[in-house]
Structure 1
Amino acid sequence: MATRNGKLPVPLGWHPSLKKAFNDADLWCQNYMVTKDRLGEGLATLRHELDTTRPFIPAISTLLVIAHAYAAQSCARASVVDPSVWSAAFNNAINFRALDFRKLASLSLPHAHQPVFAFSASMKAVGPALLSQWSTAEILAKLLISVAEKELKVSPSKKTKWQRGTHDAFLVHLLSEAFSLPTSFESMNPIVPEYAELLQHWRTEDAANFRKVMSVAAEFHILRSGDSTDRTEYEFDYTFDRIYPAELLAVQAIRRRDGLPEFETGHLLIDKPWSMIRDIESSVPHPLVVETEAMLRRDRPDFR
């Protein structure tokens, strides 16, 4: 942790590039959490679907609405300064986002077609690793690898998101290494140098080398953060993914799991959220996450 005159701890600040992301989160929470109870509506919809749908499958937007509400709450300025509020919102955001990815991936993999996965899909898949939920993280790693491999078979000559060689490709290979899962996935475009170098050195025990490769990757994350348009689609156009760079935070989490030195990177985009996540209290999963997963397992044989 940073110190003042070598004595008093100085709380880390957020990276200056995130000002707009925080503004967007505050505005969304005011409009859709305070003025409109979007979270309550989403939870009520899921409760209704759990009670009435047989065989059970939530509507395509149900888990997304809930996940987005918790994600926005975990990004709001009022939440990030209140540990108890932030911890609950962040845990719920990670868990609902991951469950949504598991639902979509598990139900689509047995079929010939491949649904369109947004750029945020791989960021959802790596979320449980940030919370050291390693059994769930391995399930999601297997699903992400399977989805990526299927994408190249279904669309071998198309320039899809999975073939740009950015964070999706990086996470497929990072999780393959972290969980010793073989993969045949290779994007048509080589992995961009910023992520390729990190893949080569993410296990390093050289502090200076680690800071270098992580900081370069963090700058790429910032460069590719923006509001997507019809002409330009950014990897990180979702507020939660801008503020919490999961592809880089996962490196810190996996290094901790493996007993590697826990270096700070010297880059606020990583060090600030990691200073909160690494000490986050374990949280009892939201009861609707537990019930939804159980119902999917019961009624959907392909669910993993």
Structure 2
Amino acid sequence: MATKKAQPSAVDGWHPSLKKSFKDAELWWQTNMVSRDTLEPRLAILRQELDQPGPLRTSINTVYLIAHTYAIRCCTPAAIKDSAVFAEAFERAVTFRALDFRKGAGLSLPHETQPVLAFSASMKAVGPAILSRWEQSEICARVLIDVAEKDLRIKPLKFYSDGWRRGTNDAFLIYLLSEAFGIQTDYKPTDSLIPEYQGLLDVWRTKDASTFQQAMQAAAEFHVSRSRESTNKTTYEFDYTFDRVFPAELLAVQALRRRFELPEFKAEHLLVDTPWSLIRDLPAVDPHPLAVEAEARLRADFPSFR
């Protein structure tokens, strides 16, 4: 009797470390969107907040929860298999995540407090870069650098030796984006940039495929090693499912190489090559009207928002 040939899974071709991430994303989606739709109520809350008179006052979680819903959608097998669904979900995830970052950072920068969290913030900030939205990407880069510089300026080293001072993805992205956009910064983490990211930073413009692949593979392995849920004792850089599945700090390198018309080498590492194959030529998707309206209101109502 002939055996039935197994059909390829939607997650075939992705890095093996992501199996649990895909499973968790699917479970979340089934629980929160299939069994009960949580997205529309969240969008309705943002609509209500925009309709209120006076300066826009959104809940701290409104934009975040919308961004999170779209981000999880991108990590589900069904979305990955459907190019149109994936393109829209990815655009929405990047747009709302970047808006969430800019909202929190822009409104807090003039004040003494520093509520913007390390690690996840820089991953949100670099999202527009991987979609080659260079004007928005430069805005996010400048805000990211201001946030990091402020954190080092206002928080004593003896009490805050980690966070923005760790020489990992925050530091790498600040150095990468400051170089790419010609932004001056005096940011310097307490810990030196880890060798894996330093190696990639040194050669990201190279025209030698072997040199590039060696550096990118080392950085990708570091990403995998830090892709896990944080604990009470340890905060991991890539705590969020979206950041594990889409290594934005590495995908940004690929996008920047294209921007500077450098050879488009593969990384020869599934963590980078598979998502980049989906993202590099995504069809244009119009931003969600509520994201456009919210950004316009924040810009009009708050001079510190950028």
TM range (shorter): over 0.9
Note if contact 1:13-1:272 (Cα within 8 Å) is conserved in structure 2: yes
Q: Which residue of 2 aligns with 1:45?
A: 45
Amino acid in the other structure paired with 2:94: I
Q: Which residue of 1 aligns with 2:274?
A: 272
Q: Which residue of 2 aligns with 1:3?
A: none
Cα distance in structure 1, aligned partners of 2:204 and 2:53: 45
Note if contact 1:12-1:272 (Cα within 8 Å) is conserved in structure 2: no
Give the CA deviation at 1:36. 2.1
Q: Which residue of 2 aligns with 1:86?
A: 86
Q: Which residue of 1 aligns with 2:25?
A: 25
In the TM superposition, 1:153-302 aligns within 5 A as 153-157=153-157, 158-302=160-304
In the TM superposition, 1:45-84 aligns within 5 A as 45-84=45-84
Amino acid in the other structure paired with 1:99: L
Give the CA deviation at 1:155. 1.1
- TM-score when normalising by structure 2: 0.94
Give the CA deviation at 1:62. 0.1
Give the CA deviation at 1:40. 1.0
Note if contact 1:129-1:253 (Cα within 8 Å) is conserved in structure 2: yes
Note if contact 2:120-2:237 (Cα within 8 Å) is conserved in structure 1: yes
- TM-score when normalising by structure 1: 0.95
1:14-60 CA-partner distances (Å, limit 9, x unpaired) = 11110000001000100111112111111011001000152103110
Cα distance in structure 1, aligned partners of 2:301 and 2:37: 30
Give the CA deviation at 1:113. 1.8
* 3-state SS in 2 of match to 1:256: helix
Count matched residues.
Answer: 294
Q: Which residue of 1 aligns with 2:7?
A: none
* 3-state SS in 2 of match to 1:295: helix
Cα distance in structure 2, aligned partners of 1:143 and 1:190: 22
* 3-state SS in 1 of match to 2:191: coil
Amino acid in the other structure paired with 2:14: W
* Runs of 4+ with >2 A deviation: none
Cα distance in structure 2, aligned partners of 1:59 and 1:261: 44
Give the CA deviation at 1:118. 4.3
CA RMSD, Structure 1 to Structure 2 (Å): 1.2
Amino acid in the other structure paired with 1:21: S
Judge which range, 158-167 or 21-30, deviates more: 158-167
Note if contact 2:104-2:116 (Cα within 8 Å) is conserved in structure 1: no
Q: Which residue of 2 aligns with 1:101?
A: 101
Cα distance in structure 2, aligned partners of 1:109 and 1:152: 13
Give the CA deviation at 1:256. 0.2
Give the CA deviation at 1:219. 0.1
Cα distance in structure 2, aligned partners of 1:57 and 1:260: 44
Cα distance in structure 2, aligned partners of 1:57 and 1:67: 18
